[in-house]
């Protein structure tokens, strides 16, 4: 009898029913669905195999070294993937450099326009530089101040003309006075004049600032003698604002010209400091005072002056030598026929260059000067003939000297040894960027003539031709 195998039916029957057979048989799946599942699975497996194969191939290709240089013979040992990374890095670096260059160019342009150019030096006084932006601001202030004055004078002129039209001849003298002043101010309201005047205000101010220190040490006067107070500046600023013609305002002026309140105050301070120095210098001129009896020979060049000086010394400074050389060489028509005799000279009445040398406290009778550059640009040799420590000055002469004290002193400062004032940059002086936007330096101004008993021709009764506003 044969033995049943491990999986024979007899053995299975002997064990009884299995776990599976105890369950309810599962419902058979549709025929179509049973066939679709294996195809989808096979497609997914096939796609995955292909993708992995391609990835492996791409990786193998990217990891290959083709032996070709990337740039300038470099990069032969790099893989294709590494070369691609370097190429992307180079591209973005190049784009970044272009962007940076554009930004830097624009930034420098703005910096140059707002910082470098405005701070360029237009003129220097004893190594102190004055920037063209400082000049621009001063020019705007000076132009507006003169414009305000012109409009006030025009209004006065209109009022006088109207009174004359109505038969009030008592206004004739006043009309003549304001007409003369108006003609002068109109002549000054031109670019050539007002640019030079503004630059002179700035260079003069540097000389005044340096002179202050000298007087504070020499005469022991306080700085407040020259520097205006805050109250004075405030009052002057208020007057400046009030002087604007009808239809024009201080805010429009500052906005148009890019000025701050501080900028305007600086210009006002310069103006007040100048006035204070004039007052101080005028008070120093008194009578009686120390006077010198001088004689001089004026020549056209320093070399000719040096030659004259040598001949004077060779002639032992005798009167005959002075008479001969003055007649032969001097440019001064008032003294060349009298041996160069200038008479008695008091402070503030002669040439500033000569005065600086002659009125030195160490000067004594008989002294002969070196070559002196005078304020007219010529060259002089001067001798002190006599000194009077206390001699009266004619009243009219003294008054004229006091009224002109500041201009005389400024002219002296410009020619004394050691003072260096550079030539102004003419391009900056007239550059459009430095011209005021308000007021207009090219504004048409009326031709003014004195009027007696009638209004001005060509205009409305009591008005001025040219259509300028009368202001207030």
What's the rounded Cα separation, in Å, for the pair 431 and 156? 34
Task: Please name the helix (run of DSSP H) or strand (run of DSSP E) that holds residue 77, with its range, or none.
Answer: none
Tell me what percent of the residues of the chain surpass a pLDDT of 70.
Answer: 78
CB count in 10 Å sphere of residue 266: 18
Mean pLDDT of all residues in 102-114: 69
Q: What value does the CA radius of gyration of the chain take, rounded to a whole number of Å?
A: 48
Q: How much is the average pLDDT of 398-408?
A: 98
**Which of the four pLDDT bands, split at 50, 70 and 90, describes residue 465?**
very low
108 confidence band (pLDDT: 50, 70, 90): low
In this prediction, residue 14 has a pLDDT band, given cuts at 50, 70 and 90, of: very low
Asked if pLDDT for residue 419 goes beyond 60, the answer is yes
* Mean pLDDT computed over 247-253: 97
Architecture of the domain made up of 288-392: Roll (3.10)
Identify which has the larger pLDDT, 348 or 28: 348
Question: What was the pLDDT predicted at 79?
Answer: 79
Span of 70-74, 184-188, 272-276, 296-300 with lowest mean pLDDT:
70-74
pLDDT score at 50: 55
Q: Is the pLDDT of residue 93 over 90?
A: no
Percent of the chain with pLDDT over 90: 68
Provide the pLDDT for residue 471.
Answer: 38
At 103, is the pLDDT very low, low, confident or very high (cuts 50, 70, 90)? confident
Per-residue pLDDT, 242:
97
CA-wise closest residue to 455 among 153, 167, 121: 167
pLDDT reading at 117 higher than 80 = no
Which residues make Cβ contacts (< 8 Å) with residue 449, sequence separation at least 6?
179, 456
Mean pLDDT of 41-60: 59
pLDDT of residue 455: 39
> What pLDDT, on a 0 to 100 scale, did the predictor assign at position 82?
78
Q: What tokens were used for 88?
A: 């992307």
Distances (CA, A) of 81 to 76, 77, 415, 428: 13, 12, 79, 60
Q: With cut-offs at 50, 70 and 90, classify the pLDDT of residue 8.
A: very low
Kindly tell me if the per-residue pLDDT of 217 is higher than 50.
yes
Which uninterrupted H or E stretch holds 47?
A: helix 31-62
Mean pLDDT across 200-223: 96
The answer on pLDDT for 374 being more than 90 is yes
Comparing 249 with 455, the larger pLDDT belongs to: 249
* The pLDDT of residue 336 is above 70: yes
pLDDT at residue 77, rounded to an integer:
75
Asked if pLDDT for residue 171 goes beyond 60, the answer is: yes
The Cα–Cα gap between 407 and 43 comes to 107
Helices 191-218 and 172-188: crossing angle in degrees, nearest 10, is 90
Q: Does 357 or 465 have the greater pLDDT score? A: 357
Please give the Cα distance from 341 to 323 (Å, whole number): 9
pLDDT tens across 28-42, in order?
545 544 454 555 556
Specify the pLDDT at position 459.
35
Q: Largest alpha-carbon pair distance within the chain?
A: 181
The pLDDT, as a whole number, for residue 470 is 37
| Confidence band for 333, pLDDT divided at 50, 70 and 90 | very high
Residues 210, 212, 218: CA angle, nearest 5 degrees = 110
The predicted model gives 443-467 an average pLDDT of 52
pLDDT of residue 306: 98
Most confident of 96-100, 118-122, 293-297: 293-297
User: How large is the average pLDDT for residues 65-93?
Assistant: 76
Q: What does the block give as tokens for 353?
A: 């260059």
Work out the mean pLDDT of the chain and round it to a whole number.
Answer: 85
pLDDT score of 440: 94
Is the pLDDT reported for residue 47 higher than 70? Answer: no
| pLDDT reported for residue 22 | 42
Q: What is the pLDDT of residue 84?
A: 80
User: Around 305, how many Cα atoms within 13 Å sit in the side-chain half-sphere?
Assistant: 21
What is the mean predicted confidence (pLDDT) over 214-228?
A: 95
Q: What is the pLDDT of residue 113?
A: 58
Mean pLDDT of 131-154: 97
Averaged pLDDT, 426-431: 96
DSSP string, 393-416: --HHHHHHHHHTHHHHHHHHHHHS
Distance in angstroms (rounded) separating the CA atoms of residues 424 and 430: 11
């Amino acid at each position: 009898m044969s033995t049943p195998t491990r999986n024979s039916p007899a053995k299975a029957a002997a064990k009884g029913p299995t776990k599976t057979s105890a369950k309810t048989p599962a419902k058979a799946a549709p025929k179509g669905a049973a066939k679709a599942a294996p195809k989808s699975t096979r497609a997914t497996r096939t796609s995955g195999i292909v993708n992995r194969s391609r990835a492996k191939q791409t990786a193998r290709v990217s990891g290959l070294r083709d032996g070709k240089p990337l740039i300038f013979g470099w990069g032969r040992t790099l893989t294709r993937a590494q070369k691609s990374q370097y190429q992307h890095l180079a591209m973005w670096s190049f784009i970044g450099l272009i962007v940076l260059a554009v930004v830097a160019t624009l930034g420098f342009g703005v910096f140059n326009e707002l910082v470098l150019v405005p701070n360029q030096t237009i003129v220097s006084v004893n190594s102190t530089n004055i920037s063209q932006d400082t000049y621009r601001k001063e020019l705007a202030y000076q132009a507006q101040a003169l414009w305000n004055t012109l409009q006030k004078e025009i209004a006065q002129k209109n009022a006088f003309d109207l009174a004359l039209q109505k038969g009030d001849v008592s206004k004739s003298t006043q009309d003549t006075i304001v007409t003369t002043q108006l003609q002068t101010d109109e002549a000054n309201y031109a670019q050539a004049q007002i640019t030079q005047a503004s630059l002179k205000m700035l260079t003069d101010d540097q000389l005044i600032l340096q002179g202050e220190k000298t007087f504070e040490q020499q005469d022991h006067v306080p700085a407040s003698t020259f520097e205006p107070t805050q109250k004075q500046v405030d009052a002057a600023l208020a007057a400046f604002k009030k002087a604007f013609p009808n239809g024009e305002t201080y805010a429009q002026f500052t906005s148009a010209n890019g000025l701050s309140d501080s900028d305007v105050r600086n210009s006002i301070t310069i103006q007040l400091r100048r006035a204070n120095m004039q007052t101080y210098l005028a008070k120093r001129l008194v009578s009686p005072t120390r006077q010198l009896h001088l004689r001089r020979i004026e020549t056209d060049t320093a070399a000719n002056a040096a030659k004259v000086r040598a001949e004077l010394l060779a002639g032992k400074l005798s009167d005959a030598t002075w008479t001969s050389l003055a007649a032969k060489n001097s440019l001064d028509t008032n003294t060349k026929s009298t041996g160069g005799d200038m008479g008695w000279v008091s402070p503030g009445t002669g040439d500033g260059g000569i005065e600086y040398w002659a009125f030195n406290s160490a000067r004594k009778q008989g002294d002969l000067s070196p070559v002196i550059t005078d304020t007219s640009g010529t060259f002089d040799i001067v001798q002190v003939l006599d000194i009077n420590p206390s001699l009266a000055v004619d009243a009219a002469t003294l008054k004229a000297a006091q009224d002109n004290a500041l201009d005389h002193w400024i002219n002296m400062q410009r020619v004394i040894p050691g003072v260096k004032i550079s030539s102004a940059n003419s391009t900056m002086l007239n550059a459009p960027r430095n011209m005021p936007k308000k007021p207009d330096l090219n504004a048409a101004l009326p031709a003014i003539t004195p009027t007696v008993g009638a209004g001005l021709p060509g205009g409305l009764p009591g008005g001025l031709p040219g259509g300028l506003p009368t202001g207030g």
